[in-house]
A and B are shown apart, each in its own frame.
Chain A
Amino acid sequence: MMRKKVVKSLCLMLILALTSSMLGGCRFGFASDPDDPDEEVKEEPIDTSVDTFEYDDSLEGTSITLLNSKAEIQVALEKMSVEFESRSGIHVEVMPVTDGDSPYTKVVSLYNSGNPPTMAILDTTDVIALAEEKAEDLSAEDWISEAEGYLTEVNGKVYSFPLCIEGRGIIYNKAAIEETLGETFDPKSVRTLGEFEEFLNRLVEAGMEKPLSLAKEDWSLGAHHLQFIYETYDGTSEGAQDVIEKIKAGKMDLASYDRLGEFVDAFDVLKEYNVAKGDPLGADYDEMAIDLADGKTAFWFNGNWAWPNLSEAGANNEDAYGFLPYFMNDDEDDFVNQKIQASPSKQVMIDGQMSSEKEKAAAKEFMNWIVYSEIGQQMLVKTCNIIPPFANNPYEPSDPLSRDIYEKIHADETFNASAIVPNDHWSILGAAMQKYLAGRSDRDELMDSIQQYWEEQK
């Protein structure tokens, strides 16, 4: 009897120990994406002494919801909501999109259950898909004039509020480069793809075996890399739209499209110096951040959203990180070799279908508060760590990557183009890019997959 009890309790203990150690296992943080909600963003104090914003008293007591698909600012948004409520009396409930759901799936299921969020933070493609049917027309809002160049129009109307500007390119770690080469590094000294390759060679000769990290994730390859072929057409969103229409209509032969050939050339260079060249599809996202912060590598293709990962890997706000352009050819006058891509990425849409007039007004007030109140402006930049698209916002982002993009925007060293592609572009062509990255398909097969994808879209 006694023995049985002992065995039983041993079993129980074993089960507990096993499950807890396994559940604990997922805290190591593998398989993470850039939107990890656990990541801490260092925060600057907010000056709340001045607030000249005029609040609409009639909206007091209204309760609205905000669906947030930018997980790394979830906590910051909740803080903003508390601050906003204490001043306006409007309660903003911030709902996160949970892991495993795509923002679009989430918002669609909320609509289908008859309970849509008053506001939703979505990607531009999602906004365009939903705009005319579900969204409130915001064309008459005051902040339109402050966000010139960063608005998304659907048939001449604005349905969304640009929340942030994000940019991408080749991130460099200045200290790592200087330490390896033993000389100061001027990012402007690299001007073309040829020079970049030469520079990578110098790093290799100086002892940095594989100086560059390349993520294997399909969203990185299919969206962030491949979309350059549309966005660099002439560096504008309209141009990107043009070229996509042409490809779709079969009016453009991809094989003879210069930018595609140049893109593959550029990608070949990145592939060659990839730190995970032996097993490119086994590359780990978190490890790349650690490699760059530790100086094992000098470059990482990514965007300013990678800062939380870098900062977790040990990088500090005072360190020198910045972006090189995604070099595509040897013409130093070509804008792709001079500018980096930066455009508004996340947009806020107000539900125009099921929300009451009062709720809509409260949502609009929240947007105005972000743009016009001193506190909203500060919180957008300092609490959320966002690059604001609004011209009247005087605050500057503090992390090196966002600051670099911020400075480049003001120095006209960015191009604002974002391609609007079908929703499965990143996943289907991301797979084709993975195949190419792994060396299991050649240039022709990659181009064929792109061609075939567009043929199926007709």
Chain B
Amino acid sequence: MKSKSNGKDFCIFALPGLFCFVAVVIIPFVYGVYLTLTDWDGVSSVKNFVGLANFVGVGKDSQFWMSLLLTFKYVVFVVVIVNVLAFAIAYLLTRGMKGQNFFRAGFFTPNLIGGIVLGYIWQFVFSRVFVNIGESTGWSLFEVSWLSDPTKAFAALVLVSVWQLSGYMILIYVAGFMGLNEDVMEAASIDGASGWRKMRSIVLPLMMSSVTICLFLTLSRAFMVYDVNLSLTAGAPYGTTEMAAMHVYEKAFTSRQFGLGQAEALILFVIVACISGLQVYLTKKKEVQA
């Protein structure tokens, strides 16, 4: 009797979701893997089977490995800065300071703006506003557009991503701080723990579940960055800021090598899945219950 109603519940609640998941995630994924074994150009009706030739092609595509390396660099910067910054700000914003709701809303706002729009706004800031500041003050840092120098364009990308992502992470950390048990904090104070000691031994371990979520979100978002990359630099200057996702897109659609692009996407997927999985496993181990 019980199992029967379970089956019905499954049909009502899980089946529609499962169907959607299979239709928009599993099937395209399997089809994508199949495409890596063909020489399809994206439009022709014949797809010739070429075996693993595309993966050999990926090995030869030095530009892809360079963009992947750049993506790693970008991920390290973004993940560290976003999380440290968001954690610190969230800590300050839960101390009961004046106008903290106002600040929370303010910090969250950039996250409400889509990546493309954000990229264009900042493009204006970097190439017009900064240059004007440079002209009127003579500061060499702002003399030329940040987007025309490879290092500064990369810094610009990191800066904009941090600005966009921090608000969201602040929100999660704020929720984490609000959920901290006041009894435990008070007990710690009575035991003589204060300042840095309290933060390290009490607050951080209790906040680990928020850290897990935030690290996972920033990691996967930073690896898959495309919109800000496209609208802020579009790979400029001369292709030096082209991240992995953008390179994959260019390969598939601009160079019309769908199979090769798909193979690169698959490699990117495996890397991101491994790293995010490892991160979740490691940080979950550190989580404690109050």
Query: Does A411 count as interface, using CB distance less than 8 angstroms?
Result: no
Interface residues, chain B, with chain A CB atoms under 8 Å away: 41-45, 99, 101-102, 105-106, 109, 112-113, 116-117, 120-121, 123-124, 127-128, 131, 143-145, 147-148, 230-231, 235-239, 250, 253-256
Q: Is the CB of A22 within 8 A of B127?
A: no
Q: Mark A93-124, 1 if CB is under 8 A from B, else 0.
A: 00000001010110010011000000000000
Apart from A216-B148, A431-B239, list 18 A-B contacts with CB within 8 A: A7-B102, A11-B102, A22-B117, A23-B113, A26-B120, A30-B124, A31-B120, A102-B253, A133-B44, A134-B43, A218-B236, A279-B131, A280-B148, A281-B145, A282-B147, A434-B236, A438-B238, A440-B238
Q: Nearest chain-A residue to B257 (Cβ)?
A: A424
Beta-carbon contact of A10 and B102 below 8 Å: yes
Contact between B117 and A434, CB atoms less than 8 A apart: no
- Residues in B neighbouring A102, C-beta threshold 8 A: 253-254
Of residues 410 through 454 on chain A, the ones whose CB sits less than 8 Å from some CB of chain B are: 422-424, 427-428, 431-432, 434-435, 438, 440
Query: For the side of the interface on A, what is the size category?
Result: 35 or more
Question: Which residues in A have some Cβ–Cβ distance to B below 8 Å?
Answer: 7-8, 10-12, 14-15, 18-19, 22-23, 25-26, 28, 30-31, 100, 102, 104-105, 108, 111-112, 129-130, 133-134, 216, 218, 278-282, 284, 422-424, 427-428, 431-432, 434-435, 438, 440
Q: Please, which residues of chain B bring their CB within 8 A of the CB of A129?
A: 41, 43, 256
Chain B residues near A112: list those with CB within 8 A: 42-43
Q: How far is the CA of A278 from the CA of B145 in the complex (A)?
A: 10
- Give me 13 A-to-B residue pairs in the complex whose CB atoms sit less than 8 angstroms apart, sorted by A's number: A7-B101, A14-B102, A15-B112, A25-B124, A26-B117, A108-B42, A133-B44, A281-B145, A281-B238, A423-B254, A423-B255, A431-B239, A435-B238
Known contacts: A431-B238, A438-B237. The answer to whether A424 contacts B254 by CB under 8 A is yes
Looking across the interface, which residue of chain B has its beta carbon closest to that of A8? B101
Contact B238 A432 (CB under 8 A): yes
Q: Which residues of B contact A30 (CB under 8 A)?
A: 120, 123-124, 127-128
Distance between Cα atoms of A100 and B109 in the complex (Å) = 24
User: B45, A133: Cβ atoms under 8 Å?
Assistant: yes
Of all chain B residues, the one with the shortest Cβ separation from A427 is B254
Write out the residue numbers on chain B whose beta carbons fall within 8 Å of the beta carbon of A280. 148
Q: Is the CB of B128 within 8 A of A284?
A: yes
Tell me the minimal C-beta distance from B16 to chain A in angstroms. Answer: 23
From A23, A26, A130, A279, name the one whose CB has the most chain B CB atoms within 10 angstroms: A279
B129 CB to closest chain A CB (Å) equals 11
Chain A: which residue is nearest B45 at the CB level?
A133
**CB of B102 to closest CB in A, whole Å:** 6
**Smallest distance from the beta carbon of A214 to chain B beta carbons, Å?**
13
Residues of A within 8 A of B44 (CB): 133
Q: How far is the CA of A279 from the CA of B135 in the complex (A)?
A: 13
Establish whether residues A434 and B238, one from each chain, have CB atoms under 8 Å apart when the complex forms: yes
Tell me the complex Cα distance, A27–B45, Å.
42
* A434 to B121 Cα, complex, angstroms: 23
Known: A100-B116, A104-B253, A133-B43. A282 touches B127 (CB 8 A): yes
> Are B112 and A19 in contact (CB-based, < 8 A)?
yes
B116 touches A15 (CB 8 A): no
**Cα A130 to Cα B101 with chains together (Å):** 57
B109 touches A281 (CB 8 A): no
Given A19-B112, A28-B124, A438-B106 contact (CB < 8 Å): no
Establish whether residues B256 and A423, one from each chain, have CB atoms under 8 Å apart when the complex forms: yes
The 8 closest A-B pairs by CB, nearest first: A282-B145, A281-B148, A279-B144, A431-B239, A434-B238, A431-B238, A435-B238, A424-B255
User: For residue B255, which residues in chain A have a CB less than 8 angstroms away from its CB?
Assistant: 422-424
Instruction: Find out whether the CB atom of B43 lies under 8 angstroms from the CB atom of A22.
Output: no
Q: Which residue of chain A has the shortest Cβ distance to B145 in the bound complex? A: A282
Knowing A25-B121, A30-B124, A279-B144, the reply to whether A18 touches B109 (Cβ < 8 A) is yes
Q: Are B106 and A14 in contact (CB under 8 A)?
A: yes
Give the Cβ gap from A216 to chain B, nearest Cβ, in Å.
8
Chain A: minimal CB distance from B242 (Å): 9
In the assembled complex, which residues on chain A have CB atoms less than 8 Å from the CB atom of B105? 11-12, 14-15
- Given A26-B117, A28-B124, A423-B256, do A281 and B147 touch, yes or no (CB 8 Å)? yes
* Contact (A431, B121) CB under 8 Å given A7-B101, A281-B148, A282-B147: no
Residues of A contacting B253 in the complex (Cβ-Cβ under 8 angstroms): 102, 104-105, 108
The reply to whether B117 and A281 form a contact with Cβ atoms under 8 Å apart is: no
Expressed in whole angstroms, the Cα–Cα distance for A105 and B124 within the complex equals 27
Neighbour of B148 across the interface among A105, A282, A423, CB < 8 A: A282
Bound together, the chains give a CA A25 to CA B99 distance in angstroms of 27
In the complex, which residues of chain A have a beta carbon less than 8 angstroms from the beta carbon of B256?
104, 129, 423-424
Given known A31-B120, A129-B256, contact A22–B101 (CB-CB < 8 A): no
Whole-angstrom CA separation of A18 from B109 in the bound complex: 8
Q: Nearest chain B CB to A313's CB is how many angstroms away?
A: 16
Q: A284-B128, A424-B255, A431-B239 are in contact. Are A438 and B101 (CB under 8 A)?
A: no
Measured between beta carbons, the chain B residues less than 8 angstroms from A431 are 235, 238-239
Nearest-neighbor residue (CB-CB) of A16 within chain B: B109
In Å, the complex CA distance between A422 and B144 comes to 34
Please judge, given known A-B contacts A102-B254, A133-B45, whether A26 and B145 are in contact too, CB under 8 Å.
no
